[in-house]
Amino acid sequence: MTVAAPEPKVNMGNPVPRYDAVVKVTGRATYASDMPLANPAYAYLVTSAIAKGRVESFDLAGANRVRGVIDIVTHENGPKLKELKLYSNGGYAGTTIQPLRSADIAHDGQIIAVVIAESYEAAREAANRVKVSYTAVVPSATFDSPGTTTAAAKGQNSQFKEDPQVGNFAKAFEDAEVKLTASYDTPTQHHNPMELFSTSCAWIGDNLVIYEPSQYVYGLKNGVAEQLGIDADKVRVVNPYVGGGFGSRGSMTPRTAIIAAIARRLNRPIKLVPTRDQGFTIATYRAETRHEIKLGASRDGKLVALRHEGAEVSSRPDPYCVGGTKTTTRLYACPNVDSLVSIVRADRNTPGFMRSPPEVPYLFALESAMDELAVKLNMDPVELRRINDTTNEPIGGKPYTSRSLMACFDEAAKAFGWSQRSPEPKSMADGDWLIGYGCAATCYPTQMGPSAARVRLQRDGRTRVEIAGHEIGTGAYTIIAQTASERLGVPLEKVAVFVGDSELPPAPVAGGSNSTASTCSAVMMVCDQIRQRLFKAMMPNQSLTDRAKETVGIGQTPATRAAKSDRSLDLEKAFDALGAGVVEEYGEWKPEDAPPDSFQAMHSGHVRLVGGHSLKDKIAYAFGAEFVEVRVNRFTHEIRAPRLVGAFAAGRIMNPRTARSQLMGGLIWGMSSALLEATEIDQRTARYVNDNFADYLVPVNADVPGVEVILLSEQDDHINPAGAKGLGELANVGTNAAVCNAIYHATGQRIRKLPVRLENIEV
Amino acid sequence: MRSFLYQRATDPGMAVQALSAAAAANNPLTQAAAQPLAGGTTLIDLMKLDVMRPAAIVDINPLAQGWSGIETGGEKLRLGALAKMSDVAAHADIQRHYPVIANSLRLAASAQLRNMATLGGNVMQRTRCSYFRDISYQNCNKRIPGSGCAAMDGVNRMHAVLGTSDQCIATYPGDFAQALIALDATVEITGKSGTRSMPFAQLHKAPGNTPDIETTLQPGELISAFSIRGRWPRSVYLKARDRQSYEFALSSAAIALDVQDGVIRDARVALGGVATVPWRAREAEALLKGRKFDNGLAQRAADAAFADAKGRQHNSFKISLGKRLVARALQQASTMEV
Ligand SMILES: Cc1cc2nc3c(=O)[nH]c(=O)nc-3n(C[C@H](O)[C@H](O)[C@H](O)COP(=O)(O)OP(=O)(O)OC[C@H]3O[C@@H](n4cnc5c(N)ncnc54)[C@H](O)[C@@H]3O)c2cc1C
Ligand code: SF4
């Protein structure tokens, strides 16, 4: 065992190496733009240089003169696509602003033309030579810009159902012994996954194949079909590997259907590789948010009143919002709670899911406020959390299925050396550097969605698992293989896994950290169907008893006791009894509380996720605690975070290696979000300015010298058969507040606006 | 990127010839139709962004044999224009006798870029102003003379506070040039009529009314070497930035001191990340010379360095940051063991 492959504790799988490790490190994994196509044409996007107005005319003369140009498609001559519904209102699209429908421009960087040429270089050169005349209208960029409109989220966005409330907040706050009111801001951020927003596609007769990094192949397939007005069965989306997603590829972007339509018109396969800066405007992003938190507490630290008001920016047509009050109003015991979320409409592209969409901004506000309250109470911030820890959420009184928040705090505090902290701000230093320690809670809802799977077992133990899950770098191949291996008792190296293809049995979107729970639960169920068939063949008169399990050589729960040796002998007997060479089973699994139309929806690319607070008589979350050491240079005010320590509990850990990797990446991203990442908006033009990797800062290795991930044992039998809580989005939630809390400790300065930069420090 | 003619230089004369032939009618140099290609880490980027559109490229890398020397013997340092940033930064004599040079290079860009990039290309790198680098913005006097300046009232956190004009506030982004200007380097230029030398300080031009003219080099002229007289073991390069590595300076200071018997005989102060050109703070130097070092003096020198600084909406912080950085760099230089 190594740091990267931690020793499994109770209720953890083995830290087996990644299924796709070798293809990845040897560069043999193929991504969308690597897919070989016969005689492809190359597309290059032309995007608008204004955020609001109209295209008056195009001057294409210069562009058309570039050798190799095949076609330049604009709203004047382009294929007309059908309108789409927004994902969060039951559709497939991340935005309803669809390209080339008219001369109107609704945001910066909207696709206004597509150049098709014989080479990428020719397409790019011609695109640069397209001259556009616009009639520009002054746009509204963001909060406080003239012309924005604000309205409550409730009633606009069908996924935001309620502003949680309980008790009498106003009175309790008024009467509280200790009060805090504070406002917090979070910036615009972009996912910037390594793989660009590429699309390769080819028509074979009436059938369309799309190679595209997608976190939801069924959604994309159905969305493209709807937009093109063709039968969804004629569309296939393939992406065996996705070069990062972080939510940006969860819903359909405007590029895909138009590229497919052009390919059909030209009768040629097309490859599109948009640029990094185009990725800022042709996909989604994390919108900027504002918060006001009011906390009332008794002198001994018990919360008596909590109010969280949030405002989020969205586009003119689409009421996207994340509404994280569903989490922040339920995190701590508090009898009087109030909340309100509103949406501010500006002339922007529509925002969308980005790693822990609701929790990142909303917990930054709450966990910063908790730290401020601890200071007011003169109390250790860990103790304040302990005093307000709860087994039941305060809004509906439902019990948490399991909650290891304080255990995480205690483990992480110990590993971090929290007891070495001298509580006074500005009391710790090392040479030129002021030192600060800070901490915060982190949490993420446990979500599941209906999923199908097909498993095929051969007499020699070779196993093939098919499921339209997604390998976005998280380890999907690995844990699906592990699950099948453990469940069927076949050696891991005999399991082949196929994901990332809409011809495979449907799985949910790889979003909301539901994939592990959903896909592994489905795979387990289908493996059980196979076992049952084998067992019935061998012992037609018995039920599935322990003896039978032994006979077939298959261990059931706990999966840690999975067969270690190759039980091919038993398998052979079972196959002989069955009189078959191969057993293949297909099955559809859905979580408890899933709506009745779940399976139907699953096949048509609609996800019915359940979990978090939306379960009927319980609430399910994964928890963690994060500790950060920051150093602030006395002279330059540069801020560094040399140590990040997080302890996490998330039910069954399928593979400590891949889990650690997700959590480590989360901690690093969280630090990045606190100190580096922000998309700068030109207020006059509503355009993104730092839309490249030199100016949109993410950490480099030198910024993260110390990251420690601690996995806690936790068993939760109330969530899903896999017993797993999603953890992909768990670790980047608390870090924002932990960093700011540490900066307060280092400098005595409370910073409530992200990201914190050296100019915000005044020591 | 647009189609272009690619030529490989066979010798300096041929390179100069090829560059002048194509570029005769093209001034300023930054828009010239023929551009020399060294490491390509600036030029190719800007061509892909369609900001630079040379019709011809003359690859000068074949001249490396004569133009990449690092000569440190005696009291004179000579650096060939095609020496790689990484080779110079790692050179033991440079680290010992010219720490300000070694560190200005070591703290720049990334290891990969430093392996590609040359000293000549480095001093000629262009501003990172986002409005300059994105041709969809119509207002950029540097790119389109007379079109206005989008950065003036736009996102200007990275922009300059010294040497600005009402036409352009773009920062000169490099690090190494501050070391050169501080150490009174000479730049050797090879052109049609042979080789000439001039103070490095005369190479870059402040924007004034012609931000599109960035240097005094003429089309067809190439930088062949830099040279510095004397050694400067008591010298430092400090750089403040948002992340620990791989980022341009928010503010940097190149400091070199000659201290004898506790008295500052000579002082050199140059500023990066805050000015439109490599910036020598002579007022600060004047204050330091002939005095004994103390923190108060460092502070007064730092104040003097930024006396004329003008901030805009997002970059005013650079004035106080720059002062603190200069004062700290002076402290470090004065206490160095040499
Ligand atoms: C992401 C990124 C981060 C960076 N960070 C930093 C940083 O922190 N600090 C820093 O200082 N730099 C930084 N740089 C800039 C980098 O150092 C320069 O791009 C590099 O030094 C340029 O050298 P080159 O040899 O590649 O030049 P090229 O790109 O080949 O040339 C640059 C320009 O100089 C001209 N030219 C080249 N050689 C000569 C010559 N001998 N005579 C006359 N003209 C010539 C070219 O025609 C071109 O116009 C960064 C660059 C990138 C891409
Ligand atoms: S600062 Fe200079 S380079 Fe930047 S937009 Fe203004 S004129 Fe152009």
In chain A, which residues have their Cβ closer than 8 Å to the Cβ of B135?
A: 128
Q: Residue A104 forms beta bridges with which residues?
A: A54
Q: What is the CATH number of the domain that holds B262?
A: 3.30.390.50
Whether B326 has a pLDDT exceeding 90, the answer reads yes
Alpha-carbon dihedral B293, B296, B297, B301, rounded to 10 degrees = 140
Mark residue A19 as left, alpha or beta (left: phi above 0; alpha: psi -120 to 50; beta: remaining). alpha
Where among A603, A633, A657 does a domain terminate?
A603
**Long-range Cβ contact pairs of A370-374 (< 8 A, separation 24 or more):** A370/A295, A370/A332, A370/A440, A370/A441, A370/A737, A371/A438, A371/A440, A371/A737, A371/A740, A371/A741, A371/A744, A372/A180, A372/A182, A372/A750, A373/A178, A373/A180, A373/A295, A373/A297, A373/A301, A374/A301
**What pLDDT sits at residue A562?**
41
Confidence of residue B191 (pLDDT cuts 50, 70, 90): very high
- Could you identify the atom of ligand 1 that is nearest to the CA of residue B175? 11
Q: To the nearest 5 percent, what fractions of chain B are helix, strand and coil?
A: 35, 20, 45
- Please determine, for residue A169, whether its predicted confidence score (pLDDT) is greater than 50: yes
A27: alpha, beta or left, given left = phi > 0 and alpha = psi -120 to 50?
left
- Domain final position from B25, B43, B62: B62
Rg, C-alpha atoms of chain A: 27
Q: What is the pLDDT of residue A704?
A: 97
Burial environment of residue B290 by CB neighbours within 10 A (0 to 12, 13 to 18, 19 or more) = exposed
- What pLDDT, on the 0 to 100 scale, is given for residue A544? 58
Q: Whose CA is nearest to atom 2 of ligand 2?
A: B168
- Evaluate whether residue A302 is within a structural domain: yes
DSSP state of B63: G
Say yes or no: A598 and A671 in one domain: no
Q: Are residues A352 and A390 in the same domain?
A: yes
CATH code for position A405: 3.30.365.10
> Can you tell me the distance from the alpha carbon of A343 to that of A345, in angstroms, rounded to the nearest whole number?
6
Is the four-CA dihedral B85, B89, B91, B95 of positive or negative sign? positive
In this structure, is residue A208 part of a structural domain? Answer: no
Interface predicted TM-score of the whole assembly (ipTM), two decimals: 0.96
Measured between alpha carbons, how far is A324 from A164 in angstroms, rounded to an integer?
Answer: 10
Q: Is residue A245 part of a domain?
A: no
Residue A368, pLDDT > 50, answer: yes
What residues contact A29, with CB distance under 8 A and at least 6 apart? Answer: A20, A23, A240, A241
Q: Which atom of ligand 2 is nearest to the CA of B131?
A: 5
Average pLDDT taken over every residue of chain A: 95
Closest to B268 measured CA to CA, from B173, B171, B332, B179: B179
Could you report the per-residue pLDDT of B131-146, keeping only the tens digit for each?
Answer: 999 999 999 999 999 9
- A632-690 per-position pLDDT tens digit: 999 999 999 999 999 999 999 999 999 999 999 999 999 999 999 999 999 999 999 99
Atom 49 (ligand 1) nearest CA: B43
Query: Are the Cβ atoms of B154 and A689 closer than 8 angstroms?
Result: yes
| Ligand 1 in reach of B163 Cβ (< 6 A) | no
Range of B276's domain? 235-334
Nearest CB among B133, B138, B155 relative to A682 is that of B155
Residues of B in contact with A689 (CB under 8 A): 130-131, 154-155
The domain boundary, picked from A573, A603, A633, lies at A603
Residue from B141, B16, B99 nearest B338 by CA: B99
Domain hosting A756: range is 150-185+290-446+616-760
B209 contacts: CB under 8 Å, gap ≥ 6: B165, B167
Taking the alpha carbons of B331, B332, B337, B338 in that order, is the dihedral positive or negative? negative
Of all protein residues, whose CA lies closest to atom 8 belonging to ligand 2? B140
The answer to whether residue B159 sits within a structural domain is no
At B76, list the tokens.
Answer: 């004179």
Same domain for A484 and A469: yes
Q: Which chain A residues are Cβ-neighbours of B50 within 8 angstroms?
A: 128
Active site residues of A: 729
**Which run of H or E residues covers position B333?**
helix B317-335
Q: Do A495 and A408 share a domain, yes or no?
A: no
Q: Is there a contact between A756 and A743 (Cβ–Cβ < 8 Å)?
A: yes
Quick check: is B198 in a domain?
no
Give the per-residue pLDDT at B25.
Answer: 57
Q: In this structure, is residue B317 part of a structural domain?
A: yes
Interface test with B, best of A48, A672, A682 (most B CBs within 10 A): A682
For residue range B199-254, list pLDDT tens digits in order. Answer: 999 999 999 999 999 999 988 999 999 999 999 999 999 999 999 999 999 999 99
Name which of A239, A235, A238, A237 is nearest A207 in CA terms: A235
> What residues contact residue B169 under an 8 Å CB cut-off, 6+ apart?
B149, B151, B152, B156, B159, B160, B207, B276, B312
**Closest A-chain CA to B138:** A49
Whole-number pLDDT of residue B23: 60
Last residue of a domain, one of A557, A572, A603: A603
* A439 and A503 belong to one structural domain: no
Question: In this structure, is residue A39 part of a structural domain?
Answer: no
**pLDDT-based confidence at residue A179 (cuts at 50, 70, 90):** very high
Q: How much is the pLDDT for B75?
A: 87
CA distance A198 to A272: 5
Verify that A509 and A586 share a domain, yes or no.
Answer: yes
- The residue assigned the tokens 């090829």 is B18
For residue B34, the domain's CATH number is: 3.30.43.10
Instruction: Choose one of B138, B168, B205 to mutate for the ligand 2 pocket test, by most ligand atoms within 8 angstroms of C-beta.
Output: B168
> Do residues A480 and A424 share a domain?
no
Buried b (16+ CB within 10 A) or exposed e, B53-62: bbebbbbbbe
The verdict on residue B298 lying in a domain is yes
The string of DSSP codes covering A424-458 is STT--EETTEEEEEEEEEEEEE-EE--EEEEEEEE
Number of folded domains that form chain A: 2
Q: Provide the 10 A C-beta neighbour count for residue A193.
A: 21
Q: Ligand 1, closest atom to CA B241?
A: 8
Element (H, E) at A150: strand A149-152
A454 and A401 co-located in one domain: no
Percentage of chain A surpassing pLDDT 90?
93
Paired tokens of A259: 């590229």
Residue A144 lies in a domain: no
A644 CB-side CA count, 13 A: 29
Sheet holding A451-458, edge to edge: A495-498, A463-466, A451-458, A582-589
Domain shared by A159 and A169, yes or no? yes
Percent of chain A past pLDDT 70, that is, above it, reads 96
Say whether both A479 and A375 belong to one domain.
no
Report if residue A579 sits inside a domain.
Answer: yes
Q: What is the pLDDT of residues A525-582, one digit of tens each?
A: 999 999 989 988 888 776 655 554 554 544 433 333 344 433 444 788 889 999 999 9
- Residue of B3, B244, B321 with shortest CB distance to A703: B244
Strands (E), A634-716: 639-649, 681-682, 687-688, 706-711
Q: Span B89-97, mean pLDDT?
A: 97
- Those of residues 695-724 in A touching chain B at CB distance below 8 A are 695, 697, 699-703
Burial of B26 (0-12, 13-18, 19+ CB in 10 A): middle
A763 touches chain B (CB under 8 A): no
Domain shared by A528 and A641, yes or no? no
Distances (CA, A) of B160 to B4, B271, B278, B310, B315: 33, 11, 11, 8, 7
Domain count, chain B: 2
Confidence of residue B52 (pLDDT cuts 50, 70, 90): very high
**By the 8 A CB rule, do A629 and A420 touch?**
no
Q: DSSP letters of A334-401? A: -S-EEEEEEEEEESSPPP---SSTTHHHHHHHHHHHHHHHHHHHT--HHHHHHHT--SB-TTT-PBBS
- Nearest ligand atom owner, CA of B159: 2
In a domain, A660, yes or no: yes
A703 by Cβ neighbours in 10 Å (0-12 / 13-18 / 19+) ranks as buried
Residue A373 lies in a domain: yes
Separation of alpha carbons A342 and A323, rounded Å: 8
Asked whether residue A624 falls in the same domain as residue A516, the answer is: no
With 0.90 as the threshold, say if the pTM is over it. Answer: yes
Per DSSP, helices labelled H in A505-584 are 515-538, 546-552, 568-578
A706: β partners: A643
